[in-house]
Chains A and B, each alone.
Chain A
């Protein structure tokens, strides 16, 4: 029978964190105190000093900014306002989208294309009215066209969680306008709203597209919201989408 092989006990059981100090340390049974090199001590000390000075400056700055009658109760409305302002700013940055919208609503050529598109598929009652007008009064095409183009086709570009558009209506503003939407809300008040809806012009002037990113965390169900004229605050329409389960 042979003796069971065993690993000899290690002389070193901890990593050498400071090779220079370790090399210089005398062999002794006394517990080793971790030596700190000048460079390390200097760096750490300096770090604490710089931080302390900055924290003091930060405290003084915070004191200045804190002056005022700001109440914690104001936070939710502040947040909403800030979010709205930020979204407007973000949309403003997308100047191309706004230019397109502006052109769509003011350019006679593009308007004609839009009116033609709207007239091509009018609602049944409007179609009858249009047919009657066409046969009885050929001198009033502009009025018929205006009636047909009172609504702007609104479609959705949905991303994120699967969802589909359920209903949309958007009336044409009387003057060029930027569209805005505060958010699509659920009937269940516990569900957070879907925010960040932006609008862009459809290709070739074919209506308006609502760009909606549905967060993955949102519960399934119907979400609705109003579309406003950003300038006047007048409601121009409504939009409903269904987030799939």
Chain B
């Protein structure tokens, strides 16, 4: 593994945070152009603009823009695509929160808790469809060859993401046990990595290179980065920080099949394993704080939290390796340094 990039101060998590704030700001302004403003459609526009206005890291948009610039494109060319990615992501979050019965999103009550499930579903649908507009605007400008390739990677992403969400819900609702680490990584690839890292990097690469670079080349980098991101996200859900903006231990109440849970179950005594299985079989409403507390303690006892941290770091390292293979030959630039800094950033992000 070439660690020179990670050791390079230009590729520090600080640079990543700084550029993410910069690109995030520009993407937000573009998003505002595409979301309803001024006169309000009752029960709709307020809901559509809610999640996008709550902030967020804008990681997906930033990956798209940085990838486009690193491959020779202009920021302006990538901005509509970056906006489309974020709008779609917000639409999916609305539905995700309903499916998971989540209570908090970015530090505030989830949309369905504020407005009810039917209106929230409607707003999520609208966001996903509105995301097509900036995407098409961008593709018209990019030309037929690039448009064809962007649509191809978008179709892949849509299929993989839907499969991933179905897997997670299916496991949760049908009690598919026992799961192993391969199952988890498969889920992280489908549910998280395609939408969060692979697709934005692919779209940026295609826009920046005007369709001349191979979009398949960033799949491995995106997968390892996305998987590390997801494991770190799972770990943070166990933390007690209110900065996180989600429900503390929400994943435990939702019985999400995280790497931490899978490891704890695999290494637990037969008695504890039966207790875990009984917990997983309950409905969310029947899972008490005492049960969740016991599970969190078990995670510590089995070293599952530490194990997940090790795996997240290992996958981030693999992402750095893949980065070198794909982006290594590109001339040095701030955007290349940004992408190089992402694996370290996902583990140390604020």
Using an 8 Å CB-CB cutoff, how does the interface string of A60-78 with B read, 1 for contact, 0 for none?
0110010000001101100
Residues on B with beta carbons closer than 8 Å to the beta carbon of A215: 30, 33-34, 80, 137
B126-A75 in contact (CB<8A): no
B33-A43 in contact (CB<8A): no
B310-A37 in contact (CB<8A): yes
Residues on A with beta carbons closer than 8 Å to the beta carbon of B76: 217
B311-A43 in contact (CB<8A): yes
Chain B positions 202-228 with a Cβ under 8 Å from a chain A Cβ: 219-220, 223-224, 227
Complex CA gap A86/B139 in Å reads 15
B3-A83 in contact (CB<8A): no
A43-B133 in contact (CB<8A): no
The chain A residue sitting closest to B39, CB to CB, is A157
A72-B36 in contact (CB<8A): no
B311-A160 in contact (CB<8A): no
Complex CA gap A15/B6 in Å reads 10
Judge if B240 is at the interface, Cβ distance under 8 Å.
no
A39-B41 in contact (CB<8A): no
Contact of B125 among A48, A93, A216 (CB under 8 A): A93
Judge if A96 is at the interface, Cβ distance under 8 Å.
yes
- A-B pairs under 8 A by CB, number: 143
Residues on A with beta carbons closer than 8 Å to the beta carbon of B159: 61
* Segment from B51-59, B181-189, B248-256 that makes contact with A: B181-189
Contact of A40 among B36, B37, B310 (CB under 8 A): B310
Chain B positions 111-152 with a Cβ under 8 Å from a chain A Cβ: 122, 125-126, 129-130, 132-133, 136-137, 139-141, 144-145, 147-148, 151
B196 CB, min distance to chain A CBs, angstroms = 15
Judge if A185 is at the interface, Cβ distance under 8 Å.
no
Judge if A113 is at the interface, Cβ distance under 8 Å.
no
A216-B189 in contact (CB<8A): no
Judge if A97 is at the interface, Cβ distance under 8 Å.
yes
Complex CA gap A76/B146 in Å reads 11
Residues on B with beta carbons closer than 8 Å to the beta carbon of A62: 156
Chain A positions 116-169 with a Cβ under 8 Å from a chain B Cβ: 157-161
Residues on A with beta carbons closer than 8 Å to the beta carbon of B190: 54
B189-A79 in contact (CB<8A): no
- Interface size, chain A (Cβ < 8 Å): 56
Judge if A35 is at the interface, Cβ distance under 8 Å.
no
A186 CB, min distance to chain B CBs, angstroms = 14
Contact of B181 among A15, A41, A46, A93 (CB under 8 A): A46
Complex CA gap A47/B313 in Å reads 13
Judge if B314 is at the interface, Cβ distance under 8 Å.
yes
B44-A96 in contact (CB<8A): yes
Complex CA gap A59/B35 in Å reads 36
Judge if B29 is at the interface, Cβ distance under 8 Å.
yes
Complex CA gap A104/B57 in Å reads 43
A51-B310 in contact (CB<8A): no
Complex CA gap A94/B41 in Å reads 8
Complex CA gap A65/B76 in Å reads 32
Contact of B30 among A90, A192, A216 (CB under 8 A): A216
Using an 8 Å CB-CB cutoff, how does the interface string of B23-39 with A read, 1 for contact, 0 for none?
00000011011111111
B33-A216 in contact (CB<8A): yes
Complex CA gap A40/B219 in Å reads 20
Residues on A with beta carbons closer than 8 Å to the beta carbon of B310: 37, 39-40, 43
Judge if A182 is at the interface, Cβ distance under 8 Å.
no
B222 CB, min distance to chain A CBs, angstroms = 10
Using an 8 Å CB-CB cutoff, how does the interface string of B146-171 with A read, 1 for contact, 0 for none?
01100100011001100000000000
A83-B132 in contact (CB<8A): yes
Residues on A with beta carbons closer than 8 Å to the beta carbon of B144: 72-73, 75-76
Chain A positions 1-55 with a Cβ under 8 Å from a chain B Cβ: 14-15, 17, 34, 37, 39-44, 46-51, 53-55
B121 CB, min distance to chain A CBs, angstroms = 10
Judge if A58 is at the interface, Cβ distance under 8 Å.
yes
Residues on A with beta carbons closer than 8 Å to the beta carbon of B182: 46, 49-50
A-B contact pairs, 5 of them (CB 8 A): A14-B3, A39-B310, A48-B318, A86-B136, A90-B126
The 5 A-B residue pairs with the shortest CB-CB distance in the complex, in nearest-first order: A159-B37, A40-B314, A90-B129, A43-B311, A43-B314
Report which A residues bind B (CB closer than 8 A).
Answer: 14-15, 17, 34, 37, 39-44, 46-51, 53-55, 58, 61-62, 65, 72-73, 75-76, 79, 82-83, 86-87, 89-90, 93-97, 157-161, 192, 195-196, 200, 209, 211, 213-217
Report which B residues bind A (CB closer than 8 A).
Answer: 1, 3, 7, 29-30, 32-39, 41-44, 76, 79-80, 122, 125-126, 129-130, 132-133, 136-137, 139-141, 144-145, 147-148, 151, 155-156, 159-160, 181-182, 185-186, 189-190, 219-220, 223-224, 227, 307, 310-311, 313-315, 317-318
Given A53-B186, A72-B145, A86-B132, 5 additional A-B pairs, CB 8 A: A40-B313, A58-B160, A76-B144, A76-B147, A159-B33
